[in-house]
Amino acid sequence: MIDHEHEQLVRELKGTLDRVLRERRPDGPWDTASRALKLCAQDTAEGLDGAASLVGGLSARDIGLLLATYTLRFHLVNKAEQLTIARINRERECRATPKHPRGESIAEAVHTLARAGLSRDEVMKVIAGLDVQPTLTAHPTEARRRTVLRKQQVLAELITRSQDDRATPLERDEVTERLEGMILAMMATDDVRAERLRVHEEVRNGLFFLAGSIWDTIPVLYRDIRLALREAFGPEGPGQETAPSLGLRYRSWIGGDRDGNPRVTPDVTRSTLETMRAEAVRKHGESLWVLRQHLSLSDRRVDVMPELRESIERDLVAFPDLVDTDTLHHLTHEPFRVKLHFMLGRLASITSDTPCYDTDLFIEDLDLLDRALRFAGLDQIADGYELSALRARACTFGLHLAALDVRQHSERHGQAIDEMLRLAGVEDGYNGLDEQRRITVLTHELRQPRPLLPVDIALGEVTQDAIDVFRVVREAFQRDRRSAGSVIVSMTHQVSDLLETLVLLKEAGLYRVDHSGAVESDVDLVPLFETIDDLERAPELLRELFADEAYRAQLGARGRLQEIMLGYSDSNKDGGYLMANWSLHRAQQRVAEVCREHEIDFRFFHGRGGTVGRGGGRANRAIQATPPGARSPRLRMTEQGEVISFRYALPAIARRHLEQILSALLVVNGERSHTPDDAPRQLESSTVELMDRLASVSMSRYRELVERDGFWDWYRAATPIEHISGLPIASRPVSRAGGVVGLTNLRAIPWVFAWTQVRANTPGWFGLGTALASEIDGGHLATLQGLYERWPFMQALIRNAELELVRTRPRLLSRYSALAPGCEHIESILTEEFERTRVAVMQVTGNKQLLADRPVILKTVADRNPAADVLNLLQIELMKRVRDGQIEQLGGEDSAKRLIYLSINGIAAAMQSTG
């Protein structure tokens, strides 16, 4: 990614920032900042000491100025990196040829499958079978405000214009002036929100990307598919389809994720659905108006397909309220525009109480226009951007933008069922029953056509809330079946957790059984396995679930498809890095085997975060590392917080992210379809035994840390976790039960966030070194090296940990540890394990330096360190003053809090990562 042009751009941006600051804020501590930066750049303990001394003498005002300055500095650098990625990909695309396509592109995937012997029809079948559903969540990992994101978007446009060699001197001056003005505006804009986000604001944040860069990117991916097929197999023959629909659709949890968030009420969920529906209508309406202007085709000049005329006649009869006599009079000989007139009118009805359109009908009308154009001999217009882009977006976004999932904790559903059964006189004390008795009671109720409760019965808050949200989902389904997503059950521990949810769905009308026992169900039910124990027990739990009569009926009603969600965050928090990764890998293989045993199709839903400790990393490499037996054309994954901001900041970056996922899935599933394997390859027993030993040793080492006396005292004092708990970056509380007392109630996101802030990145490597060293000392180094060379899972495991190790700064960790006197033994454990892991990883990779084979990343990290170190020293100074009671010297409690929040935002920008 780094090249001369990028380095020059970064220098220019930093120079512009420095010039603006010295001219407009000459009273700032810029000389002190420059000296501190140079000292940190020495990358020595002495240099850090000197920089810390300089920082220690700053006033609260100057600390605030430096925090704002360095945060903006990293925003500029981050934007430059994104633009460089986009530029280099564009340059690679220009150099690509049909025989040598750009790496990790859709064209390369299609070319690879063609070389492997797949025909055009076979490749088309693989494409048509894809089912990719990125899922936006509102998890609190985006520290930036939406207004800052918008300013950064403008900044990207200005930077791009500044690089245009064709610009005139006047245009260059204008861009420079606007760029300086934008920097000033960003300096004058609060990075930290005044109060915690409300859910409807999180919904708008999601729309910012869904209706922005993602909306712009989808037609490009469809075009990529068409061009790749033509380059690999030549032009389509007569009657051949240009390209199949790409199975890419978006989901959202924003406004539907209720787990631990009391602010997501049924009314909020209803409002979210309405907001997304209105935005989809607005965006499609804009595109239809453009198409209406474009398709000014006269029946006196082209042949009109009878089917188009018949469709217009039906519209005239069915929708008389949409007839505008004057408009139709002016369009007498323009049937395409007449059809679009009715489409616009029907589209507008979507947001009313009496909609007369849905996604399927909308796509049918777009397909009709496509066929009519081809009938008229206007294939080039049919293939043109306006209509093809509309259809691509209709297939992806429908008339709902993103299907809304509902998620809730299993305990909440259990509480509701306990009350419902008691009020119905079925069972008093349900929660006290053993598991088998619970299943018997629930299965009996699921056989009954009648509802469990009278409509007008008074219910407790938990029960009423649980039923009401599913009634909202039912309303959405009746409007447009694509707008309702899945129901996800957090902390699924046993079969009854899912049967309880089915009873609630039945009460809301989403699960129906008639007197003959036939079942209809409108939504998929998804267990979420999050802890190490749950991942271990998941295969047996699913085996029991698939044997249950009521749940078999649910599967039959849903096309025998089971979605299974895997939690990467809580499993890591529970068992540490290596154990979590191995448990997730094994769970996928074993769960897939159970599904195949019962002839059930499956889709894994990967609950990944942005950091390595929460399953982050390159999505395409994760796909390639999937166990062979668990591979599928179906894929869901969460896109969270700062990950959304980075992956979807620009259309070019969004395209790169999505094409890498689609490319990997095409190759993996294309090769699998071409060489079917009835018995997916199993790992050798010796490899499984080795990995089991490694995971067990690693988890023991990890639990030894988090259960060590004094650890939580150290963690609360040495990291900014308590300040993170108050950071107003999302509507959801950071703790499930209030307070920070241990692993159980602290959510995984703030857990990882705090480690990232102190530059320790512990969830991304701790325990790995002890585990590897135990096998290396036992004479198994060659075995580990062999696995690393040939096994994608081991490569991903080691390479991700290697990156986190390089980003770790032990010298800074020592300074944070000084904030927790009496807990020095915790720092010793961390630094010892860091060194052990660093050495062991290099032994396995065979390199003499971490990231030796990835020099670009190594240089990027090194270039960021000095300025990031200054931010850390500023944060440590603030935490020290707060600890020592120097609140008034920081301007009072509110000012102290704001300054620490600024430091958190700044370090998040420097690390391009939060949780």
Active-site positions read 139, 573
Q: Are 224 and 659 in contact (CB under 8 A)?
A: yes
Beta bridge partners of 561: 601
Q: Which amino acid is at 478?
A: Q
Spell out the residues 6+ positions from residue 765 whose beta carbon is closer than 8 angstroms to its own: 577, 801, 804, 805, 808, 834, 837
Q: Are 634 and 665 in contact (CB under 8 A)?
A: no
| Cα distance between the two ends of the chain | 24
- The span from the CA of 224 to the CA of 218, in Å, is 10
- The span from the CA of 770 to the CA of 698, in Å, is 6
Spell out the residues 6+ positions from residue 9 whose beta carbon is closer than 8 angstroms to its own: 80, 83, 84, 159, 163
From residue 913, alpha-carbon distances to 50, 407, 826 in Å are 27, 25, 24
Q: Which helix (H) or strand (E) holds 161?
A: helix 146-162
Nearest by Cα to 136 from 466, 391, 401: 401
Nearest by Cα to 625 from 766, 787, 846: 787
Q: Are 492 and 541 in contact (CB under 8 A)?
A: yes
Spell out the residues 6+ positions from residue 492 whose beta carbon is closer than 8 angstroms to its own: 410, 498, 527, 528, 529, 534, 541
Q: What tokens were used for 826?
A: 């915790």
| Class of residue 758 by CB neighbours under 10 A (exposed 0-12, middle 13-18, buried 19+) | buried
- The span from the CA of 814 to the CA of 49, in Å, is 12
From residue 480, alpha-carbon distances to 252, 325, 403, 404 in Å are 16, 30, 10, 12
- The span from the CA of 368 to the CA of 339, in Å, is 10
Nearest by Cα to 553 from 602, 513, 497: 513
- The span from the CA of 689 to the CA of 779, in Å, is 15
Q: What tokens were used for 574?
A: 């529970």
Spell out the residues 6+ positions from residue 429 whose beta carbon is closer than 8 angstroms to its own: 418, 422
Q: Name the E strands within 233-326.
A: 251-252
Q: Which residue has the tokens 């850090």?
A: 48
Q: Give the phi and the psi of residue 64 in degrees, each rounded to 5.
A: -60, -40
From residue 745, alpha-carbon distances to 529, 570, 577, 748, 766 in Å are 17, 11, 19, 9, 21
- The span from the CA of 650 to the CA of 653, in Å, is 5
Query: Helix H segments across 846-889?
Result: 855-883
Q: Give the phi and the psi of residue 900 in degrees, each rounded to 5.
A: -65, -40
Q: What tokens were used for 797?
A: 């495991």
Rounded to 5 degrees, what angle do the CA atoms 458, 462, 463 make? 50
What count of other Cβ atoms lies within 10 Å of the Cβ of residue 449? 12
Nearest by Cα to 566 from 538, 540, 543, 594: 538
3 state DSSP class of 166: coil
Q: Which residue has the tokens 């200005």?
A: 158
684-691: long-range contacts at Cβ-Cβ below 8 A with a sequence spacing of 24 or more?
Answer: 687/787, 687/791, 690/775, 690/780, 690/783, 690/787, 691/582
Residue 606 DSSP symbol = E
